Structure 1
Amino acid sequence: MLKKLCLALALLVMPLPFVATAHAQGQSLNDILEPVRKEVGLPALAAAVIKDGRIIASGAVGTRVLGRDIPVTIDDRFHIGSDTKAMTATLAGMLVDEGKLRWDSTIGEVLGADLPGIDPTFAKITLEQLLSHTSGIPTDTKAIYEQYVDGKAYEETLSQSRLRMLRAFGKNPLKVDPNPTFHYANLGYVAAGAMIEKVAGETWEELIRRRLFDPLELKTAGLGPQATRGKFDAPVGHDVDDKGKITPRPWGPGADVPAGLGPAGVAHMSILDFARWAGWNAGEGKRGPALVKPETLKRIHRQHVTMTLENPPPGTPKSGGYGLGWGIAASPWSDNRPVLGHNGSNTMNLATIMVDPQRDIGIVVTTNFPGPKADEALQSLVRTLYQRFAK
């Protein structure tokens, strides 16, 4: 089964009660989350709203494992999938600011010595094209997925695994489109991650911890499956097969996508830390820490390509834009102004983030269950919370 992580933005509206809680968490959202969780049949559901750099509302309800009575807490770690991509783009921006990379640095220029025999069309792909999904690399195919799960990965470091994937795919010529065309490509972010670690002299995993998680004080942030092996100390993902059979996936290789895909989407963190990441972006970094220059963050946030998708995944707009790790779309509930957003899923968990820098507000919603109904619930909550708190 292909592990696809896709973006989204969109959707219903209910009044929210006010319940005073600890100031770090804001008012409780549990009274609105619990009915949604029960109606959709989700094990766990969490959400948070950050405005002007302060968490003003949050909540977490349900159980860590479907069928077990293990209540979630507000500090529990949820998998955020492809919402990691904006973090990878931010790491790239740091290295651009330091002169170690350029937005137009190419795969061949940075990784050529490590990727002998790659096709010239692949070698010419730029960092910016990789991060905006305009490189010509396709959405995950069977051949690409086979590289993700190749048994050689058990004999390699994660950096070596990424280079192996690129060597295998890069031997094939790409169809060069004169106009930027959007193709959501996890492999493109694998390539960007390889470029980042080559010029930095550190692995992507080291860099994201040292240069993003630590400065932002995302103390619950980590990589890979969110539960500690042998413990149910976080909401674990759930696999749903074609016949509807549900299987919890707490640990081991089946609990997440292959680790070599890190730059494309393996981060996890609590809903409060996820909200802090949203708030940093909503404030455009002005409250600190100064991870990148203001103009660099604006470049990451601005639209680079228009998306027109046929048969898009659930929750993904048929049209809109894409920046560098961020989807961009306008909706009636945002007064038809474009806002930033992204969905993340490793097919066992689901997370969504919405950021509106103009109103300095961020909204994050997570669950440990996949599927269209879960996606609809998360998007509905984004709309509800935005209408309640942004205006």
Structure 2
Amino acid sequence: MTHRRDWLRAVLGAGAATCGGLAWAQEPAAGDPSTSRRTVRRPVLPDPTRNALRPVLEPWETRPPEDARARMLLEEVRARHKLPGLVGAIIKGPAVVSVAAVGVRKAGEDDPFRTTDRIHLGSCTKAMTATLIATLYEEGALGASSTLAEVFPDYADRMHPDFRGATLSHLLTHRAGLPHDADWWGAPGLTPTEKRYAVLRESCSVPPRSLPGRKYEYSNVGYVLAGLMAERVTGASWENLTRARIFEPLNMYTAGFGAPGMDASSREPQPYGHQRTLGRLKPIRHDNAPVMGPAGTVHCSILDWAKFAIAHLRGERPGARLLMPSTFRDLHTPAPGTEYGGGWLVLDRPWAGGKALNHAGSNTMWYANAWLAPARDFGVLVATNVGGGSTDKAADEAVGALLGRYREAFAG
């Protein structure tokens, strides 16, 4: 099957996310009692030194056999774009109904890429940060109108006046007037949290690029500061909060932080990321600086990523996991005048039956892309262990191929 770029743009739509916002559709006015603080339920945190969670699978979590047809389709894409490895999954309702992996873990070697391998999610981490923060919203620890000055009163005097009123909603919908990035590797401090405070001081001491709430400008800094808000009101690190409130409740046993294979949490070898240098694939184990965590450092298998995707795919239905359906609905509602919701681009697509949730992300050595169609109760996830160049086009083609596979075998 040939997937031409013009056909893909017609299917996926122009403006698909290449990087990826918690928007509550209606931001409460300052002083609204619905955002007043209540006693915060402190999370029960896992031991951060533990290597792996004990896998206790629920019935719907059993892994389907690898889909030979999907494998063939993905191999066509992988070969055409000269990718080292490529993995994809189709979710339908509460389950993964198709999964396949092609290519190799490391360019120049013959160790095959597996469906159980860990992949780097890049900016797809942002949807997890927004979901984590939504759990604090439900507990009354934070609200859409919580401001930087309110959460960090000891830093308010050093903030530019225009940043003092920037809200959590502004941060998570890229409307706070913050720059795209900071000096991540040069931020002073010993821990990621200490470095995030340094980013707060540095980024908010100068005038904003635009007045908060006025303009959409994609910002990793905004998500880092949103994660720091969660750290401030709980006293726990973003990493431990994410483990306790996202990974453990969803049984995401392979989930962690940093490049796959860099930590000791897996007993199995893991794929390398790759960059293209003078037309050649260069294997590399490297990642974004840990300070960037809330904006893009999560890794996990595609099957565990599917557990999180299913939580959002079915989140607005009764019986939702992690959050109330109304909270998921808020996360899936774009900020005024934009197409961004809580860590997702929210787009209208005929094949999705209306609203589609999309996000992609890359740490320049990996590329991941997700499309969810809540009205039709299905979604597609793809990832490849190379970044840059035409990788975004390759991922679009892989998504298009799996959409065709879904219509062929699983629709209806």
TM-score normalized by structure 2? 0.79
Q: d(CA) in 2 for partners of 1:148 and 1:175?
A: 19
**2:265 matched to 1:222?**
no
Aligned-pair CA distance for 1:166: 1.1
SS in 2 for 1:264: helix
Deviation at 1:386, TM superposition (A): 2.5
Does residue 149 in structure 1 map to residue 188 in structure 2? no
| Residue-by-residue CA offset, 1:231-270 (whole Å, 9 max, x unaligned) | 98112111234x44532112xxxx0010000000100111
1:388 Cα shift? 3.5
Name the structure 2 match of 1:277.
308
1:322 partner letter: Y
1:347 maps to which of 364, 373, 377:
364
Structure 1 letter corresponding to 2:311: W
Q: 1:285, CA displacement in angstroms?
A: 6.1
Q: Distance in 1 between matches of 2:156 and 2:193?
A: 13
Is 281-290 or 49-58 further displaced after alignment?
A: 281-290
Name the SS for the 2:121 alignment partner: strand
User: What amino acid sits opposite 1:302 in the alignment?
Assistant: T
Matched, 1:327 2:345: yes
1:45 and 2:86 matched: yes
- 1:127 is aligned to 168
Cα pair distance change 1:35/1:245, threshold 3 Å? closer
Q: What TM-score does the superposition give when structure 1 sets the normalisation length? A: 0.83
Q: Which amino acid aligns with 1:354?
A: W
- Could you say which residue in structure 2 is the equivalent of 1:6? 19
Q: How far off its partner does 1:173 sit?
A: 1.3
In the alignment, structure 2 segments of 5+ residues that lack a partner are 1-17, 21-60
2:192 is aligned, of 158, 164, 175, to: 158
CA apart distance, 1:30:
1.4
**What residue is the counterpart of 1:185 in the other structure?**
219
Query: Does the 8 Å CA contact 2:318/2:325 hold for their aligned counterparts?
Result: no
Shift of 1:60: 1.0
Letter in structure 1 aligned against 2:104: T
Alignment match, 1:238: 274
Amino acid at match of 2:63: A
Could you say what secondary structure the match of 2:376 adopts? Answer: coil
Match of 2:64 in 1: 25
- Matched residue pairs, number? 349
3-state DSSP of counterpart to 2:249:
coil
The answer (yes or no) to whether the contact 1:102–1:127 under 8 Å persists in 2 is yes
Contact 1:52 1:360 (C-alpha < 8 Å) held by counterparts: yes
**Equivalent residue for 1:194, pick from 207, 212, 228:** 228
Structure 2 letter corresponding to 1:199: V
* Aligned counterparts of 1:128 and 1:196: Cα–Cα separation in 2: 13
> Take 1:151 and 1:132, find their aligned partners in 2: how far apart are those partners?
24
Change (3 A) 1:179 1:105: closer
Q: Percent identity?
A: 37
- In structure 1, C-alpha distance between the alignment counterparts of 2:248 and 2:306, rounded to whole Å: 15
Q: 1:188 to 1:33 in 2, by over 3 A?
A: same
In structure 1, give the amino acid aligned to 2:358.
G
Task: Tell me if structure 2 keeps the 8 A contact 1:121–1:176.
Answer: no
CA distance in 2, matches of 1:178, 1:129: 7
Of 64, 70, 75, 2:116 maps to 75
State the AA in 2 paired with 1:56: V
Distance of 2:336 and 2:405 partners within structure 1: 31
